[in-house]
Amino acid sequence: MDTSVLIMCLILVGIIFIPFFLFNISGKSTSKKVKEAAQAVSAKNQLNISQSELWGNSYIGIDENERKLLFLKFSEKEMYERMVVISAIKECTILEQRKFFKVKDKKDSHLEKLDLKITLKSGKHFELNFYDETLNYSEDFEVKRIEKWKLLIHQLITTENNVKQVA
């Protein structure tokens, strides 16, 4: 067999598969940075995170013993950090922003933004951004994820209120 044909085949295979390998490595390094930062913030605030989730450039976790919620979101320049005491939360709701369009007599929608709105007992409120199409390239089960965390927070709020009523 001709060595030039073998060399060309190896070059073509390399051109096709090396980008996939590089994208895989870069994705893992981003999640590794997010995970390390989450561990550093948890250690700094003396939290023992019992439930957490990491996706893309975001992290959310709950310390059930200290009754605190930790949310981190990373951008190219900075890190958004929000810690909330569960007992200070009055309610949480999902804010979903969609673009609706029609394709051949069928209505369809496209998720643009997804936030978890936390309302405190003091009347103040803020949003934890789970998805923004201008920042994220694609959806990654964010709707299921935000529903899961809303339910978890509601369970902790309900448990806290029941404990106060019994005492």
Q: Which helix (H) or strand (E) holds 108?
A: strand 106-120
Domain count, the chain: 1
CA 69 – CA 60 distance, rounded (Å): 7
Residue 98: other Cβ atoms inside 10 A: 12
For the stretch 86-124, pLDDT in tens is 989 999 999 999 888 887 888 888 888 999 999 999 999
| Contact yes or no for 64/50 (Cβ under 8 A) | yes
- CB–CB of 37/79 below 8 Å? yes
Domain extent at residue 19: 3-166
Residues 123-165: tens digit of each pLDDT: 999 999 988 888 766 667 888 999 999 999 999 888 766 666 5
Q: What are phi and psi of 112, to 5 degrees?
A: -105, -40
- Given a cut of 70, whether residue 38 has pLDDT beyond it is yes
Model confidence, pTM: 0.76
As given in the structure block, the two tokens for residue 80 are: 């958004």
